[in-house]
Structure 1
Amino acid sequence: MAELIRNLPQTAEQEKVAGPWKEAWRSFRKSKSAVAGAGIVIFFILVAIIGPMLAPQGINEQNLAIRLLPPSSEYWFGTDDLGRDVLSRILHGARLSLTVGISAVILSAFFGSLLGIIAGYYGRWIDTIISRVFDIMLAFPSILLAIAVVSILGPSLRNALIAIAIINIPNFGRLIRSRVLAIKEEEYIHAAKAIGMKNSRILWRHILPNSMTPIIVQGTLAIATAIIEAAALGFLGLGAEAPQPEWGKMLADARMFLLNAPWAMIFPGVAIMLTVIGFNLMGDGLRDALDPKMKN
């Protein structure tokens, strides 16, 4: 009995040291699909960072004498209709596609979370106005709203990034608003108000830290969606412009040669597919690890 009692404080201390983040990491590592997704994401991030330095050819080096060559030992992914190396363009395109996807999600997460926190915490007419704006934006299909925004701003990769950021703001806003509505009714929030803590301090010290979990999960999943949307805008000619090697633009340029040179479309399409799958698998793993409701 004495030995059992002596072991109790040590066990409690070990659990305290572990903490929720370490516990979430342990749960994340147990999911094979989540680890596989994280591996895919890390691989493409490394490709985006060092890929252009490893590219065998320049992205705009044209040689019409070798146009539409199939994959070979010299050109692993073949060449396109202008004689450019498809592998080199995909390596360079990884940086563009990931930059657009991650940057757009960071912008939408910042502004969406800010509006969601304000709407959920202050309520009343502020909540009504912000919520109705979110409802109006969500009433339109996201890709159509993105097309409308790019049509107003003009076709370019930067404007495509802005459009993707705008259409994803309501997703973050509504998610954080619902979280804030639950948190602000907690006893420690009422206690903070009772001792005279300012609203700005409450939002910064209590509301925001306790809302980070859904932001992280939604952000990871939103990157996958943003990459698809950027590729869709590029395919429609509303995103990256020639000769930028963005994956969606590469698909659009190669669609006329699908029967004669399918590799020019297959490899950029596979790159998009693998990247999206990686972020989705990792996002699902983070959701299962960070959401207490998903744990047994």
Structure 2
Amino acid sequence: MIKETWDGFKKNRLAVVGAGIVMLFIILGVLAAFIAPEGINNQKDADRLLPPSTEYWLGTDDFGRDILSRILHGAKLSLTVGFFAVIGSAIVGTFLGITAGYYGRWLDSIISRMFDILLAFPSILLAIAIVAILGPSLQNALIAIAIINVPTFGRIVRSKVLGLKQEEYIQAAKSVGMRDRRILFQHILPNSLAPIIVQGTLCVATAILEAAALGFLGLGAQAPQPEWGRMLSDSQTYLQQAPWTVFFPGIAIMLTVLGFNLMGDGLRDALDPKMKE
């Protein structure tokens, strides 16, 4: 299964490029403490708003801090938020989706209506409302992003389970008295993993964008954390005077999101039998 998926994935050149971009940013984030040329909060008043040069490859910000160093450390923050928010929403959404799809009836009605209520709000507005209640911080932004993505996973898993539970091998398992827990964990869940993995990859890109948006609005990462959205917010005043302070964090966000989207498309094509030739 893994070999077949990899063979299908690597046929998509754009997906391989996307995976390469993602791996690059993961490596940069993990090794940021060792390869960053400056500390993230090293301020040099004499070097304020310097353009890119041999000394400062991506220039400096309004406090004289090295932008390259802050972007490298920001990769760790942004990817951490993206991964953990998606893991949390995938776990909760999968549990609710399986429960709704397998047991149906009133449980399905309650869970589905809850999903509908959450999906009725624009995701970023719902995230803003949650963070406003919990308080501005990177951790609360992570919680908010996880909550708003739960319905996405829940509805995907529910629709998959509704089809799976009608399969003959599930009906046979029930007829011989196999317990629901065993059916769910040995048959239903393993066969629902493909859409969860694909959606998870795509949702990481969305989560990074949402974290950047909350940081830009001052509701996510707080100064002096080098989160990319926060860097954009802090530099917007100097857009005309020092455009590199906005350009490079924006490019980092764009490339990371693009990488996850390309990789997610490749995984979808490799894991979905209908997409195979």
**In structure 2, C-alpha distance between the alignment counterparts of 1:230 and 1:53, rounded to whole Å:** 25
**In structure 1, C-alpha distance between the alignment counterparts of 2:221 and 2:8, rounded to whole Å:** 39
Residue 288 of structure 1: SS of its match in structure 2? helix
Alpha-carbon offset, residue 285 of structure 1: 0.1
Residue 80 of structure 1: SS of its match in structure 2? coil
Deviations 1:132-170 (A, max 9, x none): 000010011000000000000000000000000000000
Q: Which amino acid aligns with 1:154?
A: G
Name the % identity: 70
Counting only pairs closer than 5 Å after superposition, residues 137-148 of structure 1 correspond to structure 2 as 137-148=118-129
Q: Give the corresponding residue for 1:50.
A: 31
**In structure 2, C-alpha distance between the alignment counterparts of 1:63 and 1:22, rounded to whole Å:** 52
**In structure 1, C-alpha distance between the alignment counterparts of 2:2 and 2:119, rounded to whole Å:** 33
Whether 2:261 is the aligned partner of 1:290: answer no
Alpha-carbon offset, residue 52 of structure 1: 2.3
Q: Give the corresponding residue for 2:150.
A: 169
Q: Give the corresponding residue for 2:49.
A: 68
Q: Give the corresponding residue for 1:14.
A: none
Q: Give the corresponding residue for 1:229.
A: 210
Q: TM-score, normalised by structure 1?
A: 0.93
**In structure 2, C-alpha distance between the alignment counterparts of 1:250 and 1:104, rounded to whole Å:** 21
Q: Which amino acid aligns with 1:67?
A: R
Alpha-carbon offset, residue 210 of structure 1: 0.3
**In structure 1, C-alpha distance between the alignment counterparts of 2:65 and 2:253, rounded to whole Å:** 20
Q: Which amino acid aligns with 1:80?
A: D
Counting only pairs closer than 5 Å after superposition, residues 3-82 of structure 1 correspond to structure 2 as 20-82=1-63
Q: Which amino acid aligns with 1:226?
A: A
Deviations 1:162-187 (A, max 9, x none): 00000000000000000000000000
Q: Give the corresponding residue for 1:155.
A: 136
Q: Give the corresponding residue for 1:93.
A: 74
> Residue 205 of structure 1: which of 186, 197, 210 is its match?
186
Q: TM-score, normalised by structure 2?
A: 0.99
Gaps of 5+ in 1: 1-19
Gaps of 5+ in 2: none
Alpha-carbon offset, residue 36 of structure 1: 0.3
**Cα RMSD for the two superposed structures:** 0.5
**In structure 2, C-alpha distance between the alignment counterparts of 1:125 and 1:280, rounded to whole Å:** 36
**In structure 1, C-alpha distance between the alignment counterparts of 2:18 and 2:52, rounded to whole Å:** 27
The count of aligned residue pairs is 277
**In structure 2, C-alpha distance between the alignment counterparts of 1:141 and 1:120, rounded to whole Å:** 25
Q: Give the corresponding residue for 1:13.
A: none
Q: Give the corresponding residue for 2:111.
A: 130
Alpha-carbon offset, residue 21 of structure 1: 2.5
Alpha-carbon offset, residue 63 of structure 1: 1.1
